[in-house]
Amino acid sequence: MKVYGIIGWKNSGKTGLVERLVAEISGRGFSVSTVKHVHHAVDLDQPGKDSFRHRAAGAREVVLASADRFALMVEHRGPEPELPAILARLAPVDLVLVEGYKRDAHRKVEVWRAETGQGLIQPGDPLVRAVATDAALGGLSVPVLDLNDTNAVANFILREVGLAV
């Protein structure tokens, strides 16, 4: 499985880019999965529901399954799981796009917009292989991609991971 990250500061446009990349790359016939890092508690369950009761009783894993999809909830009750452990649980696909995990050791495209008020991550991270932005940036040691040109960003990533046709 090839892994590629999309990183940037809050409200930089990461999720919108990931959404467009999934549509673009899967539209080219590649299988794509995503991992989204969040900084707040995530819970798909509701108190009183059967699956909540299963977890409360001590189940380590609970699967919610229906005709359309299933969700696996894992209780780890410890430090946040590391990205490799999460990736190991995924079914094999051509490409996993990782939103967040900006300090992990995989290649990444940084999404940068001036409106965030934050500086670039790229100068301090050699694994940031390009910056996707809607601003005119110069003087970077990596390619600057048009944030709104999903095709160009997809081409860049696919070349980087060796999936370009």
Q: What does the pLDDT look like over 31-59, one tens digit per residue?
A: 999 999 886 566 677 788 888 889 888 88
The percent of residues in the chain predicted with pLDDT above 70, rounded, is: 96
The yes-or-no verdict on residue 131 having pLDDT over 90 is yes
Task: Show the domain range for 144.
Answer: 2-39+80-161
- Asked whether residue 45 is domain-assigned, the answer is no
Number of separate domains in the chain: 1
- Asked whether residue 23 is domain-assigned, the answer is yes
pLDDT in tens, 6-34: 999 999 999 999 999 999 999 999 999 99
Residues 141-164, mean pLDDT to the nearest whole number: 97
CA dist list (Å): 47 to 52, 75, 111: 6, 16, 37
d(CA 103, CA 108): 10
Q: Average pLDDT, whole number, for the chain?
A: 92
